[in-house]
Structure 1
Amino acid sequence: MSYFATILKLFGVPTGITLPVLNADLYSLGEEESAFFKSQTGIADDEELKKHILTVQDKAYKVYPYPCIRRFAFTKLKISRHPAYQQFLQLGKTCERGVFLDIGCCVGNDARKAIADGYPMRNVIASDLRPEFWNLGHELFKSTPQTFPVPFIPGNALESTLIGSTEPRYSPPSSPAPELSSLTSLTPLLGRVSAIHASAFFHVFNEAEQFQVAQRLGALLSTEPGSVIFGSHEGRPESGTREYIPGVRMFCHSPESWRELWEERIFKKGSVKVDAQLEQVARSDLSSTSEVHYLLVWSVTRL
C-alpha cells in the first residue's frame, strides 16, 4: 500500500492521490535538538548523526507512514518548549510517586528529554499503539531496555484493554500504588497519574474519538491539585473539519471548543483549569504551503 493510501485509510477517506516519499531535505536539527541527540547517542559528528537518524526514520516509516515521521517531528523536543514544562518538572521534584505518562510516545524522544532534565526515571511510563516505534527508540538513542528501563505499554487509547474507565476520579485511590514495571495496561493507574503528555496525538482521531480519548486520559489523572495533562496538536481558529492535505480531512478543535471539552464535558465544572492557544506553524513538508497551519498548545490542570 502506498504512503498516501495508508494515510487515507488512517483518516477514513477514499484513495486515489499520491503523496511524496521520504525527503532528506526536510531534516533539520535546531541547536537544542542537536545537543540533545549528541548527548544521548554519543555521536558528535553532524553528518554521522544525520545518517543515523535517517536510517531510523526509514525503518519507522515502514512501520507506519505517519506524516510526523516524514517531517522528522520525532527529532523535535516538543515537550521542553511547552508552556507547562517547568510546572511539569516541578511535579517530578515535589511528588515522590508523581507518575508521568507519555502517551502516543512514538520513539520516546519527549520522555527521554524529560528524564534528561530531571524527571525521575523510576516514575516514567510510556505508551503507543505500535511497540515497534518504542523499540526503534532504543536503536535511535543507542539504549537497551536494561540501560533505559522505562516501562512501555502498547495499546489503543480508545479501548478499555488499555485504559479501563472513562470517569475522572475526585478522591484519591485507597489501594497502594502499583510498581510501574509490573503493569500490562494503564488501568491500575486510574486516578494516579500526576502528568500526562500527549503531543501530535489527538488530531489522528475524529471528533467523537477525541472526546473518548479525553475521557480516558481524564480518568487517569491524579486528584492532587496541580496534576496536569498537556500537549499540542493540529488546531484552528474555529473548530471543525479541515482539509489537512488534498483529499484528507481532519477534525480540529479551536481553543474555545478545547476548553469547553475539558472544563464542561470531561471534568466537573470548576475542577480543572484549561489553557489553550494557537501557534501558527510553517509546514514545508506539504505540497501546498499557502494554507495557514496552526498548532493548538494546551494544558489541563487540576484545581
Structure 2
Amino acid sequence: MPNPESPVPPERIPPLDSELLSLSEKDITFLRTYISPDDHKVRERILDIQKRAYAEYPYPCVRAFNFVNLFMAENPIYSTIVDAGRGGHTLFLDLGCHMGTDVRKLVCDGYPASNVVGCDLRPQYFDFGYELFGDTDTCPIHFFADNVFDAPFFMFDFPGTTVARTTAQNPPAFGSVTHLSQLCGTLTHIYTGALFHLFNEEVQYTLALQLAELLKWTPGATVFGRHQGLEKAGKIDDPLGR
C-alpha cells in the first residue's frame, strides 16, 4: 500500500510559517505547565522542534503546529473516557500518537499512565516529544513503534467469514509492549487522530478491521478520533503530491 511518509520532492514542500501557530487557552495552560511558565520559552521550544521534525517528515500537521494542539481533549466523548480510566480496569491506546501530546494531556487529566500506551510508525516522533516536553527521564507513558498493518488478523477469515476469536484474558504489562499484536482483544479505548484520511477507502476498511481486532469486546469499549473528509467521496488534494 502507499506509504504516506514517502519522500517528497523539495520543490513541493511549503516553507514553514511561524504565523500558523495558533493556541487555545487550554493549549497554552497545558504547555505552560509542561514546558515553562514563560510563553517566550514555550514558543521557542515549539518552533525548534517543528523545524527539526519538518526537516525529517514534512507533514502538513507539523507545518500547522497540530502537534501542540489538544485535539483529543476536544472530542465530545473525552470526559467519558477520562472518567472510565479513573475507575480502573481500562487500557488506552493512541494509535498514530505522533509526539504524544494528547496522551500526556490524558494522563494529566487523571487517566492512569500505567494503562496508557502510544504507538506510531516512526520512533523519531517520540524523541521529538521528549525534547518538546523535557520529560525524557520522567514521562510515565510507554511509547513503541509498530505498523498496524503488520498485526495479524485472528477475527476474520476473508472475504468476510467471521471466525472465532479468543480474547486475551491477561494483557501484557503496558511497559513491555513492543508490538500491536500483543494487545489483541485487550484495549478498552483506542484513539486515532488524523490517521484514516492518509489512506484510500480500501485501506481505511482494513484499518478499521485492525482496530476491531485490538478492541476488547465489552460494554463501553470505544474507538474515537478525528479525520479530514470530503462531502463527496474522492482523494484529498495533497499539495505534497503523495
In the alignment, structure 1 residue 201 sits paired with structure 2 residue 208: no
Q: CA RMSD in A?
A: 2.5
In the alignment, structure 1 residue 167 sits paired with structure 2 residue 161: no
C-alpha distance in 2, partners of 1:166/1:217?
12
In the alignment, structure 1 residue 92 sits paired with structure 2 residue 80: no
C-alpha distance in 1, partners of 2:51/2:164?
45
C-alpha distance in 2, partners of 1:39/1:216?
36
C-alpha distance in 1, partners of 2:167/2:149?
23
SS at match of 1:97: coil
Point out the structure with the larger strand share: 1
Q: Is the 8 Å Cα contact of residues 153 and 210 (structure 2) preserved in structure 1?
A: yes
Which residue of structure 2 lines up, in the alignment, with residue 153 of structure 1?
144
Q: Is the 8 Å Cα contact of residues 100 and 195 (structure 1) preserved in structure 2?
A: yes
In the alignment, structure 1 residue 71 sits paired with structure 2 residue 59: no
Match of 2:42 among 33, 37, 49: 49
Which residue of structure 2 lines up, in the alignment, with residue 233 of structure 1?
227
Which residue of structure 1 lines up, in the alignment, with residue 216 of structure 2?
222
* Structure 1 position 104, deviation (Å): 0.5
Deviations 1:196-228 (A, max 9, x none): 110111111122211111111110011111110
In the alignment, structure 1 residue 108 sits paired with structure 2 residue 100: yes
SS at match of 1:243: coil
* Structure 1 position 244, deviation (Å): 3.9
* Superposition TM-score, scaled by structure 1 size: 0.71
Report how many residues are paired: 235
* Greater displacement, 65-74 / 146-155: 146-155
Deviations 1:110-158 (A, max 9, x none): 00010111111010001001100111101101101x4113221201222
Q: 1:235 to 1:174 in 2, by over 3 A?
A: closer
C-alpha distance in 2, partners of 1:155/1:228?
21
Q: 1:23 to 1:123 in 2, by over 3 A?
A: same
C-alpha distance in 2, partners of 1:13/1:226?
40
Q: Is the 8 Å Cα contact of residues 98 and 195 (structure 1) preserved in structure 2?
A: yes
Higher relative contact order (CA 8 A, sep 6+): 2
SS at match of 2:189: strand
In the alignment, structure 1 residue 83 sits paired with structure 2 residue 76: yes
SS at match of 2:114: helix
* Superposition TM-score, scaled by structure 2 size: 0.88
Q: Is the 8 Å Cα contact of residues 101 and 196 (structure 1) preserved in structure 2?
A: yes
Unaligned runs of at least 5 residues, structure 2:
157-162
- Of all paired residues, the percent bearing the same amino acid is 34
SS at match of 2:45: helix
SS at match of 1:21: coil
SS at match of 2:147: coil
Q: Is the 8 Å Cα contact of residues 148 and 180 (structure 2) preserved in structure 1?
A: no
C-alpha distance in 1, partners of 2:182/2:110?
25
C-alpha distance in 2, partners of 1:13/1:55?
22
C-alpha distance in 1, partners of 2:83/2:11?
47
